[in-house]
Amino acid sequence: MKELDDCDVKVWLSSACFVGMYFWLGFLIDFLSHASIVGFMGGAAITISLQQLKGLLGIKIFTKKPDIVSVMRSVFSAVHHGWNWQTILIGVSFLAFLLLTKYIGKKNKKLFWVPAIAPLISVILSTFFVYITRADKKGVAIVHKIRPGVNPPSAHLIYFTGENVMKGFRIGSVAGMVALTEGVAIARTFAGIKDYEVDGNKEMVAMGTMNIIGSFTSCYVATGSFSRSAINYMAGCHTAVSNIVMSLVVLLTLELITPIFKYTPNAILASIIISAVLGLIDFEAMKLIWKIDKFDFVACMGAFFGVVFISVEIGLLLAVSISFAKILLQVTRPRTTLLGKLPRTNVYRNIQQYPHATQIPGILIIRVDSAIYFSNSNYIKERILRWVTDEEEQLKEKSLPKIEYLIVEMSPVIDIDTSGIHALEELYRSLQKRKIELALANPGTVVIDKIHASEFVDLIGKGKIFLSVADAILTFAPHYEEP
């Protein structure tokens, strides 16, 4: 199989993977949390900016690795013989101009058009400057000749036979997965900025269809471009019509005016991309994430440093892995809360949140803030017994009446499995040894049905399940009066 054929079949197969995964992989984007997106966005912005140092500094030999260590090693190894001061002058000057126009547009909303036309002005002026000074002969890298026209059709060159088909399928599957993850991450980044919704399944089908059609003209595997999306956003585009306009302009450019861009310096292209992506590093969002949830901040930094120091794929993998770990931790280690009675009410709340809430003598009220499954049932049982032990020790030290009743408030428990019911049975037996009666308050419909089906009600007694904690208190302490 020829190299061209192999490339096309890989593109086709990866595209087919996009469409084939439509029905069962769209949900994966839900594991890209806001914190992960913020970290990914910042890391990708820095990585893209670092990659543009080649054009900005006029370096000819540059690393192909995306991580910051390889890039900086490549940059500083070329400091004495690879940098071109004319290129740096052009790139830095126009980068300062672009950043200044962005600042002007941000400060004065009426001048929104200034940063929008700044990239076009930069390209025109830099191209004209290089042409009249012939800076390209002094080492300034330029675009040079661009072959006019679009790629010729290559559908007849795609073959699905030969030894490379399975290899192409494997590579295509991985490419499809990675491209989808990156594309959706980019889409959700700008969706958060522009306040619109992203449908993972539609994104997948769109990418797959686009790549299948593109494979018929020898295109590369394509996905959402972070740098191009950033430029589109900074230009003030609001709808998909901008992509149609951009496609038509690119088509007309390829067909008619490619010779005009012969003297366009690479430094100006690097400057445009850097100025576009720098604004996507959201330090304020990172600070807010730190204040709200430290675990989310770890996911954010995992994505950020993974992208910056390794690769985009590893950064996303770290972010998703940390998010999974957070979910598993919350599932396997749910909260259990000690409740007390709010004065002059029949409302029972967390005594740590409401210090003035009072506990009923002889009665311990504990709320379980999660469904009870095999993954957390033993932990919940042990945590409740730990509450009981701690309370008994405190009561003994204060010479107060011992605990006679334990009420488990179950309104947050939306479901329970057989392991959960078995844990309740073990909890009941442990409490019986301590001469403490167990009661349940406000279990949901699903939970109460399963409890009845398991005959757990017969074990603890039919009068030990109550509509609310207040009803249980009326039964166990009918003569209780608030102090």
Residue where a domain terminates, one of 271, 295, 329? 329
Q: pLDDT tens across 425-482, in order?
A: 999 999 999 999 999 999 988 999 998 888 888 888 878 899 989 999 988 887 766 6
Q: Is the pLDDT of residue 169 over 50?
A: yes
CB 340 within 8 A of CB 351: yes
For residue 118 the two structure tokens come to 């700044």
| Any domain includes 483 | no
Quick one: 276 and 349 in the same domain?
Answer: no
Quick one: 308 and 342 in the same domain?
Answer: no
| Any domain includes 90 | yes
| Any domain includes 15 | yes
pLDDT at 5: 45
Which range marks the domain in which residue 135 is found? 3-329
CATH number of the domain within which 405 lies: 3.30.750.24
| Any domain includes 229 | yes
pLDDT band at 418 (very low <50, low <70, confident <90, very high): very high
Q: pLDDT tens across 188-245, in order?
A: 777 777 777 777 667 777 777 777 777 777 776 666 666 667 667 766 777 778 878 8
Name the CA radius of gyration of the chain, rounded: 32
Q: Is the pLDDT of residue 10 over 50?
A: no
Which of these, 370, 368, 339, lies nearest to 355 by C-alpha position? 339
Q: Which residues fall within 8 angstroms of residue 279, CB to CB, at 6 or more apart?
A: 102, 230, 234
| Any domain includes 59 | yes
Quick one: 186 and 114 in the same domain?
Answer: yes
Report the C-alpha gap between 431 and 424 in whole angstroms: 10
Quick one: 153 and 13 in the same domain?
Answer: yes
| Any domain includes 482 | no
For residues 136-149, give the mean pLDDT: 76
Quick one: 153 and 218 in the same domain?
Answer: yes
Q: Is the pLDDT of residue 24 over 70?
A: no
pLDDT band at 4 (very low <50, low <70, confident <90, very high): very low
Residue where a domain terminates, one of 329, 357, 372? 329
Quick one: 358 and 317 in the same domain?
Answer: no
Report the C-alpha gap between 10 and 431 in whole angstroms: 64
Question: What mean pLDDT value characterizes the chain?
Answer: 80
Strand partners, 465: 440
pLDDT at 200: 67
For residue 350 the two structure tokens come to 């967390």
Q: pLDDT tens across 304-355, in order?
A: 898 888 887 778 778 778 888 888 888 888 889 999 999 888 889 999 899 8
Q: Is the pLDDT of residue 274 over 90?
A: no
CB 437 within 8 A of CB 404: yes
More confident residue, 33 or 8: 33
Quick one: 397 and 305 in the same domain?
Answer: no
| Any domain includes 237 | yes
Domain count, the chain: 2
Quick one: 346 and 310 in the same domain?
Answer: no
Among the ranges given (60-74, 76-90, 215-229, 399-413), the one the predictor scored with the smallest mean pLDDT:
215-229
Quick one: 341 and 468 in the same domain?
Answer: yes
Residue where a domain terminates, one of 329, 357, 377? 329
| Residue entry with tokens 């992208």 | 307
Q: pLDDT tens across 464-474, in order?
A: 899 989 999 98
